[in-house]
Amino acid sequence: MMSETPDTFVLRTRELSKTYGKAAALVRAVDEIDLDVASGETVAIMGPSGCGKSTLLHLLGGLDRPTSGEIWLAGRRVDQMSEKALARLRRTAVGFVFQAFHLMEELTAVENVELPELLAGRSPRAARRRATELLDQIGLADRAAFLPAALSGGQRQRVAIARALVNEPLVVLADEPTGNLDSAATVEVLRLFDGLHAAGQTLIIVTHDSRIAATADRMISMRDGAFIDETRLTGGARGDLGALAGLEE
């Protein structure tokens, strides 16, 4: 395969498809998607339930295999990798964030964060140091020894994000990360994503939360397995907010 994959793109797909069923009952969950994600970019993929956005995310992260098409991660084609190589990739090159947090309830915050490092073979001492550092960066140093049950929803999701970051992944994939959060906790998570963006982390977020989409670099709308619209968002004039709030000149 001779496709060009410039280094500026961390993640690329070509005609990526995932179908279920056969003949008349064929469902095109992901339908020939071409996606190019630049290094350091935050991309939001929006669409109604069942549009295929979660399936797409699972394909990108190697949690599921495509029916056809290509996935390139940092210049390497990953869709045809062996199961073993794919598992290693999932542990080191990709960080996942889920709607329901998926923290281990019997482990403390810091133990949850260091788990992927230990699985990747890092020494316990180095793993603990890095996990503690990350919790400090996200403002949860004083919660390191807490079990998830003792944390708020926003705090739990921040711990889950720290866990996703701990092996310095090429890309963080988030599936409805604010779906279970109230308004204040959503702002916490958005601030954290904003900090990651500023630090150059590549982020792909599937969501139906318009607040996340509005703060991304790029917003892609998905329907019936395909991309139907793409918008690069730029800010408007702050002055308009005053008018919106009823503060006329």
What are the residues binding other proteins (CB under 8 A)?
48, 183-184, 187, 190-191, 194, 210-211, 213-215, 219, 229, 231, 233-238, 240-241, 243-245
Q: How many CA within 13 A on the CB side of residue 195?
A: 14
226, amino acid identity: A
Euclidean distance between CA atoms 171 and 37, whole angstroms: 10
Q: Which residue, 3 or 234, has its beta carbon nearer to other proteins?
A: 234
Q: Which residue, 21 or 195, has its beta carbon nearer to other proteins?
A: 195
Q: Which residue, 67 or 231, has its beta carbon nearer to other proteins?
A: 231
Nearest approach in angstroms of CB 155 to other proteins is 13
Nearest approach in angstroms of CB 148 to other proteins is 21
Nearest approach in angstroms of CB 52 to other proteins is 17
Nearest approach in angstroms of CB 205 to other proteins is 14
Nearest approach in angstroms of CB 248 to other proteins is 10
Q: Which residue, 56 or 219, has its beta carbon nearer to other proteins?
A: 219
Q: Which residue, 31 or 70, has its beta carbon nearer to other proteins?
A: 31
